[in-house]
Amino acid sequence: MDRWIRLALAVTLTATLHLSVGAAQEQGQQAMTPEQVAMMEAWTKFATPGPGHKVLEPLVGSWNAEITSWLAPGAPAIKGTGTAENTWVLGGRYLHQAYRGEWEGRTYEGIGVTAYDNFKKQYLSTWMDTMGTGILLFAGAADPTGQVMAFAAEMDDVVTGKKATVREVVRIVSQDKHIMEMYGPGTDGKEFKNMEIVYTRKK
C-alpha cells in the first residue's frame, strides 16, 4: 500500500505543478515561484534518461540465446536455446525484455524490465517467467567501465520454504554479444554458477 500512496502523491504533485504552470501562462503571469521552479527541475531531472540509461543501450535489439545450466556443482550441463527481444519503453526510460526458448524439451518464456533509477543511482530489474508465479526483484550497479553490471535479489526457495540470495552478472562483450551469469546456493548452502546465457545479435 505504501508504494501506491507514494505513486499517487508523485502523480498528484506532478499534475499540480503542470496545472500551476498552465494557469500562470494563461493569466499572463511572469513565472512560477522559486520553490515551484525547484520542484519542477527536480522532477524533470528524475524523469530524464541519462548516462545510466546509456549503459543499457548495447543490450537493445533482437538476440539469439544459448543457455547452459547446472542443477548442482559438478552436475552435467543442460543446454537450451532461445531468442530475446529487448526494446526501450516509456520514452527510453525502461528496457523491456521478452524471452522465448526451449529448456529440457519444454517451452520457456520470460519477461523482464530493467531500469536505472536516477534518484537511487541504482539499476533495478524485475523478472517473471513460466517456471513460477512470482516476480523476482533485483538491484545492482555497473562497474566504472559500464561493461559489467552486477545484480542481487532475495528469492523464495519453494523447496525449502526459506529465502535465498541469488546474483546475476551481465557482461557486455561487444555491441553484438553479451553474457548473463546466474549464481545461487547449492544444497550445501555454498554459492555456485547455475546458469549462463550467451546472447548474440541477430543478423
40 and 61 together in one domain: no
pLDDT digits (tens, 9 = 90+) for 65-114: 999 999 999 999 999 999 999 999 999 999 999 999 988 888 999 999 99
**What's the structural domain count of the chain?**
2
Closest CA to 170 of 146, 192, 135, 191: 146
31 and 64 together in one domain: no
Instruction: Write down the residue that cell numbers 512560477 correspond to.
Output: 32
18 and 117 together in one domain: no
pLDDT digits (tens, 9 = 90+) for 152-191: 999 998 888 889 999 999 999 999 999 999 999 998 889 9
Cell, residue 10? 508523485
Domain range for residue 21?
Answer: 2-47
Whole-model pTM over 0.75: yes
Closest CA to 39 of 57, 66, 69, 13: 13
109, β-bridge pairs = 100
